[in-house]
Amino acid sequence: MAAQIPMGSVTQQQPEKQGNLTGQQIGLIAQEVEKVFPDWVGTDEEGFKDLTIRGFEALTVEALKEIKIEIESLKAAVHETKQKSGASKAKSLRRPIAKGGQ
């Protein structure tokens, strides 16, 4: 899911109070969000884009579930690789030494 969402966050300093927010703010660029989640973006009376992130929590939970599954899969692959690597090292240690220096 995350690979399908080409959005980045931005940080900016608010020069003046915006609602009850002042100082440094972190957010998303509405035009980027609009490409993926058009229902989340509106336009205010002055023509500025604004975000209403409906369903963001549910999307976040689903993304975390997918990440957990991927991590478990990668852990299993690493474990399997370590076992194969250990088995091949053990085999090489058991090879008979050739007589006559060969």
CA distance 41 to 52: 6
- For 1-54, how does the pLDDT look when each residue is reduced to its tens digit (9 = 90+)? 444 556 677 777 666 666 666 777 788 888 888 888 898 899 988 888 888 878
Tell me the pLDDT band of 97, cut-offs 50, 70 and 90: low
Tokens 């690979």 correspond to what residue? 3
Six token digits for residue 64: 């975390």
DSSP 98: P
Residue 101 has pLDDT above 60, yes or no: no
Six token digits for residue 63: 């993304």
Per domain, the residue ranges of the chain are 1-54, 55-93
Q: What was the pLDDT predicted at 81?
A: 92
Q: Which residue has the higher pLDDT, 92 or 53?
A: 53
CA distance 66 to 72: 10
Which of 45, 55, 17, 11 has its CA nearest to residue 29?
11
